[in-house]
Structure 1
Amino acid sequence: MVGNPDFLTGRGQDQAPEFQELESPEGELHLRFYITSGHEFALPATGIREVLSPSPDRITPVPNVSPLLLGTLNVRGRVVWVADLGQFLGDPTPLNTDKPEVQVIAVEDQDIMLGLAVDRIVGMDWLDIEEVQMSTNVPDSVAPFLRGEWVLDAQANKFLRLLDQIAILRSARWAA
């Protein structure tokens, strides 16, 4: 079969002589999501370990820790801290965990993994990193964790802000 020239070229009795070209995506793959305030953010797919949707009762509260932390989650035998990303970024409204599932984005750097609980996940999108602009008019609580932003609609003041997951993981805010 491998010696058959039709096998190597992809042509055979049951295949059409022409083939369809696949469009190559532009940019880099990112996960888009919203926090409780309604602001949209993105994380590079390369920094995401996985996306989870556990029920709130699977997140175990831990006493005497930062109020930003919702608790811990067992992910295939590994204990992962879960944080309210919106509150971490200065959003005054806590994440609503009174629903069937909590959307959690697990980010990892070296041996540290953290679950970032968000309000709603939009999905994956190819975004052109060359179009990222320096963030303007962002709160001081968000600025250290931004790589920049894409302008979605300047007149409506809509931006897609690109987060730096390593800066979030390494932040001193977790000790508060």
Structure 2
Amino acid sequence: MVSKPDFLSGGSQDHFRPELQVESPEGELHLRFYIPSRQEFALPATGIREVMELSPDRITPIPNASPLLLGTLNLRGRVIWVADLGQFLGEATALNTDRAEIPVIAIEEQDTIVGLAVEEIGGMDWLDVQHLMLTTHVPDTMAPFLRGEWLIDAKTNKSLRLLDQMAILRSARWAG
């Protein structure tokens, strides 16, 4: 029988040193980001293929395409569509593409990949989906793409809304 070496189990003295104990995160890892109207959203990290900051000239406009689409992008030899997520969700404010870099979140399901252009990336956080509440006060254009929301600040009624990436990828809105 082989026993564990000390470096795998930690020394017995480490057991009582709280600064060496690793906290286990609660919930699931999510990417937080903003659309141009400054509303904050999240997507589960498990469905995100890649997050990029791209120069606008790397997105090739496509004539006569849906107004939601900014164009196409070559992602490691594969051409994918890039959409203005705010416009896709029904926001009136279009994404400012006249800047040095545009954050793009590539989401994936099986063989489908779509790039979602956003205003700003907020970071990664562990969020507990068991604390999700039903979304309130959302436009009808946005409601089908939301799984719920977390209340961030009760005084200002600020919330973080969780998007349903499957609903986004499978939407008939892309055909428009």
> TM-score scaled to structure 2, two decimals?
0.92
Amino acid at match of 1:83: A
What residue is the counterpart of 2:49 in the other structure?
49
After superposition, residues 13-52 of structure 1 pair within 5 angstroms as 18-19=13-14, 20-52=20-52
After superposition, residues 80-99 of structure 1 pair within 5 angstroms as 80-99=80-99
- How far does residue 134 in structure 1 lie from its aligned partner after superposition? 0.7
1:10 is paired with a residue whose SS is helix
After superposition, residues 23-172 of structure 1 pair within 5 angstroms as 23-172=23-172
What residue is the counterpart of 1:8 in the other structure?
5
- How far does residue 18 in structure 1 lie from its aligned partner after superposition? 2.7
Over aligned residues, Cα RMSD in angstroms? 1.5
Distance 2:50 2:11 in 1: 39
Amino acid at match of 1:18: Q
> TM-score scaled to structure 1, two decimals?
0.92
Distance 1:151 1:172 in 2: 30
Distance 1:53 1:137 in 2: 31
Distance 2:28 2:11 in 1: 33
Deviations 1:9-56 (A, max 9, x none): 218xxx965332211001110000000001000000011111011100
Unpaired runs of 5+ in structure 2? 15-19
- How far does residue 142 in structure 1 lie from its aligned partner after superposition? 0.5
Distance 1:136 1:154 in 2: 13
Distance 2:154 2:173 in 1: 31
Distance 1:175 1:64 in 2: 12
What residue is the counterpart of 2:17 in the other structure?
none
Provide the aligned length of Structure 1 versus Structure 2. 169
Distance 1:69 1:106 in 2: 14
